[in-house]
Amino acid sequence: MNTVKRALYFVGLLFCAGPLSGAGNEGWSADAPHRVRIAYASRSSSAMPLYMALQKGYFKAEGLEVEIIQMNPRLGATAVVNGDVSFATPFTSTFRGILQGFPMKLVFIHLKKGPYYVMVRPEIKDVQQLKGKKLGVATIKGTDQLVAEEMLQAKGFNPNQLQAVAIGDGPVRMQALVSGAVDAISVAPPHDLMLLKMGYPALAGPPEVGLPSAGMLTSDRLIKENPLLVKRTLKALLRSHHYILENRQETIQTLIKWLPQPIDIAEHSYDGELKTLSRDGIMTDPEIEAIIARVGEKKRPLDEVRDFSFARQAMKELQ
């Protein structure tokens, strides 16, 4: 199997894999585990803490029966507020919903800076050749698009000269580039290295100043009615973070189970993304304010957009 066919084979595996479940509808009783649904955006390395927590039994140890569901990032905030899911992990789209008035809060951060790359068709050698071209992104004005535009702007290119096209999941964006449907895409590991092996160069990335690619955002209602569930969920994820940070080889093998891929691509994903996981799940107020300035049309008081008290409680218990 040649390099292109092999890479496309792995893309197919990524795209066809379905959500992993550990529970049905959310509920609560003294005799049954607490049932939790968590929405994630893409089958990529950024969702590994969820999968690792399932694999290692960290959720179960906290009395949680967890189902992780792949969902369009634009739907995350609405799904959380409606109670369809307990948490959503896509950062920018969901956080923007909070700034627009959704009764939610950011309670945990996975990655403070997503390692995005602008991958282009082989004939594009310079950023100025992107004028009038199509950029494939997950969602309009999502994290991947905002970071791509900032990186290109830093190279002297006006991102307003690009046409952003919402395509969806990383593997789908990758296929769109290969098929010629778009001229450039913004993706995170492992898709950047997979494309590089196929002859599609990286025109920019990773960013020096990026945006978080994943966090845990939940409703004010859940925080009020079931704070113990919030703390236990975050405690399981902190254990997952610590395991990933301290066990490179074991994490790489688990990553291959989560996303079938060659070991060198899995190693690239770990070294480029997973080793940058937050150890405490917390961001500083100046960091939050900087994000609000970059992604929000409205500014809200910090106490209305974030609550890291549960992450702090969970960290204290683990210590």
* Phi, psi of 78, rounded to the nearest 5 degrees: -65, -40
With beta carbons less than 8 A apart as the criterion, state whether 58 and 236 touch.
Answer: yes
Closest CA to 184 of 157, 198, 204, 208: 204
* Chain position carrying tokens 């994000």: 291
How far apart are alpha carbons 155 and 153 in whole angstroms? 5
Q: For residue 33, give the H/E element and its range.
A: none
Q: Which domains, from first to last, does the chain contain?
A: 3-10+17-113+212-318 (3.40.190.10), 117-204 (3.40.190.10)
Would you write out the chain's pLDDT as a tens digit for each of its 319 residues? 444 444 444 444 343 334 443 333 344 444 567 899 999 988 788 899 999 999 999 999 999 999 999 998 889 899 999 999 999 999 999 999 999 999 999 999 999 888 899 999 999 999 999 999 999 999 898 889 999 999 999 999 999 999 999 998 888 999 999 999 999 999 988 889 999 999 999 999 998 878 898 999 999 999 999 999 999 999 999 999 999 999 999 999 999 998 888 999 999 999 988 988 999 999 999 999 999 988 877 788 999 999 999 999 999 999 8
Residue given tokens 């190693």 in the structure block: 267
User: What crossing angle do the helices spanning 48-55 and 227-246 adopt, rounded to 10°?
Assistant: 100
Sequence letter at residue 262: P
What predicted TM-score, i.e. pTM, was given to this entire model?
0.82
